[in-house]
Amino acid sequence: MSSGTLGRRLVACLLNVSEARRRDVVERVARAALCNVEGVKREDTTVLNIFSDHDYNRSVITIVASIDSIREAVLSACQKACTLIDMSSHMGVHPCLGAVDLIPIYPLGEDMGVEKCAQEARAVAQELTERVQGTSAFLFGWADSPLQRGLAHRRKELDWFKKSSDLQAIRPDVGPQPQRRYGLTGVGASPYVMNCNVTIDTHDMAIGRSVAAAIRESTPGGLPGVQALALPHEGAVEIACNVESTEGPPLGHLTNDPWPCFSIDGTPYCHAPAALITTRVAELAGGQGVGVKGTALVGFTPHECKDLAEFALSQGIGEFWKEQRRIRM
């Protein structure tokens, strides 16, 4: 397959696993995505990035592959994670329910549409529960047919945001009743979602919660596509944002600066820039006498993800997370 054809068929999975304090474990999970059961390297698969947070005890592994390989790559990584991570002893400040907490599949290539990504996500959920006995899953986004409930909606339904969620009260969409060892995994497909975390210089969680509430899409005057939590982090408060890609251009005063856009099945999508989120957090926190310490983008923007994946695959670099600091695009 030519590089141009492969690029049109690329999809990404920002795999969220509930481990960050054992680097060797996280890297073993990442490497598992790159080889089949015989240990043969998958030629059209790369791991672009590993973002690990000690306080959260959570890692995000950016796997990119052709649509033909993404299912096996993700399942291999998930199987390895399930053998190495035990949720019954997990500790961390970030909400989570599963050893493999989230498996989102995002289209990157022009030939990758809604239904194909939804099919792959549903297949991943089904096969994970078959290959690792005792795992269970809920579906979100395009994979949640016919309701297509978003991730934030599903998480609220399942009390994901509570540290003391009762697994026995949860009814998964796929698999058996959740078990303490594996917990519950969210599997879905949607337009690309970025993670942008802004740290504010305070210990006061009340200030953090007020800032997070104000920038959420659900709040009047909030930012389209932004879901936000305030979490204690390294002696300060982090405003952890999921930045969803929304259909069409933003309305009103938010269009003063162009938002990055892309297309899926002919439908335009755009996402709030990290700089805008940081500016808005700074304004809200500054109004309460609090400054901003810094911003971390977990992984890449959709365009960066596609461009880096095409480069990595053209060079045969599977473990790109090890190379990215020395490579200048």
Residue ranges of the domains in the chain? 3-191+302-322, 193-298
Mean of the pLDDT values across residues 19-32? 97
CA distance 107 to 122: 15
Q: Which CATH number fits domain 193-298: 3.40.50.970, 3.40.50.2300, 3.30.70.670, 3.65.10.10?
A: 3.30.70.670
CA distance 156 to 78: 24
pLDDT in tens, 222-270: 999 999 999 999 999 999 999 999 998 776 545 567 899 999 999 999 9
CA distance 49 to 53: 13
pLDDT in tens, 203-222: 999 999 999 999 999 999 99
Has residue 39 got a pLDDT over 90?
no
**What does residue 244 show for φ and ψ, rounded to 5 degrees?**
-80, 145
CA distance 31 to 304: 22
Cα distances from 266 to residues 197, 252, 314, in angstroms, run 30, 23, 27
**Looking at the domain 3-191+302-322, which fold is it?**
Formiminotransferase-cyclodeaminase; Chain B, domain 1 (3.30.990)
Has residue 163 got a pLDDT over 70?
no
Largest CA distance in the chain: 58
Mean of the pLDDT values across residues 176-189? 96
Mean of the pLDDT values across residues 109-118? 93
Average pLDDT, the chain: 93
Q: Given its phi and psi angles, is residue 269 left (phi above 0), alpha (psi -120 to 50 degrees) or beta?
A: beta
pLDDT-based confidence at 105, cuts 50/70/90? Answer: very high
Burial class (CB in 10 A: 0-12, 13-18, 19+), 217: middle
Residues forming beta bridges with residue 65, ordered by sequence position: 11, 45
Residues in the chain: 329
**What does residue 91 show for φ and ψ, rounded to 5 degrees?**
-135, 135
Q: Tell me the pTM.
A: 0.94
